[in-house]
Amino acid sequence: MTLLSSDTVPAKEPARFLVFWRRFKRSRTALLGLILFILVVLMALTAGLVEPDDPLRRAGDPLTPPFQNWLTPLGTDQLGRDILAGIFHGARISLMIGVVATLLSIGIGVVIGALSGYFGGWIDDVLMRITEAFQTVPNFVLLLTLVAILGSSIEYIILAIGIVSWTAPARMVRAEFMSLRGREFVDAARNLGVSNSAIIFKEILPNALPPIIVYASVIMALSILLESALAFLGLGDPNYASWGNMIGQGRSVLRTAAYCAVIPGLAIVFTVLSFSLLGEGLNDALNPRQKKQ
């Protein structure tokens, strides 16, 4: 039997969404972040229309400047590949990395943080010592180590990013569980004989989700930046058109054809900015009292 607090009644879900949307749209920066995010999603969805075959194929003469040829409006790189096609297909890669790595890191963080915060005692001590051990090594250094061990395929890069990003969500979930485990609805569930797993995932976790949802936008932005940094160092997957790969390959012609690196760099900037603005808007909408303080 699942207990529902007074503010989580299913009949009130549409009204709660409307209240959330009213709070969210009050922030112009949040709406700007939403617009930028929608543009990135549209780029990813329409990438096949821009280049249906292979974005890595030669599309014209090497180093054609932007706006010189309508077939390649953003120009070509030193190998003659269409930069516009790379930008659109790179949106797919960036969103895939951001979403999958975020789900992986949030999943690990929720499990470890929930167990640690709910049970406490020696379980909390062991799990927090493991968390601290991961935090002693800088994220990017650990990421480089994992990629060097596992390989630089896109699957292993996503796995490695998820592994290095779970510690902050784990601590956040632990703090939420420690503050909620003594609440009346949790005591009522225990008295009714509800199992610990049901209490953790059906009673406490839904009430601890708002800060986790907000922080997910941070992890998505960080995941895109980490993949771009790896690709810039030549450790990305060369079989995919990613913004990081485009910047890394554009270094060799930075003085003569800066657009090869600047255009994908701007794509990364605006995408990360969209997640940052969305995160602020979600925080204001989900935690209105915190904004007032």
* Domain parsing of the chain, residue ranges: 62-292
Q: Is the per-residue pLDDT at 63 higher than 60?
A: yes
Question: What is the mean pLDDT of the segment spanning 51-68?
Answer: 88
Q: Is the per-residue pLDDT at 4 higher than 80?
A: no
Structure token pair of residue 13: 């879900």
Q: Is the per-residue pLDDT at 246 higher than 60?
A: yes
Across 99-108, 228-237, 274-283, the highest mean pLDDT is recorded for 99-108
C-alpha triplet 241, 242, 243: angle, nearest 5°: 130
pLDDT confidence bin for 25, thresholds 50/70/90 = confident
Cβ partners under 8 Å of residue 88, min gap 6: 43, 44, 46, 47, 50, 51, 55
Q: What percent of the chain has pLDDT over 70?
A: 92
| Cα atoms in the 13 Å half-sphere on the side-chain side of 281 | 23
Which pLDDT belongs to residue 10?
Answer: 47
Which is more confidently placed, 283 or 270?
Answer: 270
Which pLDDT belongs to residue 213?
Answer: 87
The Cα-based distances of 43 to 48, 71, 93, 171 in angstroms read 9, 17, 11, 35
Question: What is the mean pLDDT of the segment spanning 156-174?
Answer: 94
**Which numeric CATH code is attached to 62-292?**
1.10.3720.10
What's the mean pLDDT when you consider all of the chain? Answer: 87
The Cα-based distances of 288 to 75, 116, 209, 219 in angstroms read 46, 28, 15, 22
pLDDT confidence bin for 289, thresholds 50/70/90 = low
pLDDT confidence bin for 209, thresholds 50/70/90 = confident
Structure token pair of residue 190: 């225990």
Q: What is the pLDDT of residues 79-133, one digit of tens each?
A: 899 999 999 999 999 899 999 999 999 999 999 999 999 998 999 999 999 999 9
The Cα-based distances of 30 to 22, 66, 85, 99 in angstroms read 12, 31, 28, 19
Q: Is the per-residue pLDDT at 45 higher than 80?
A: yes
Give the closest residue to 241 by CA, choosing from 49, 47, 42.
47
Q: What is the pLDDT of residues 144-162, one digit of tens each?
A: 999 999 988 999 999 999 9
Q: What percent of the chain has pLDDT over 90?
A: 49
Which is more confidently placed, 66 or 21?
Answer: 66
Residue 136: how many other CB atoms lie within 10 Å: 7
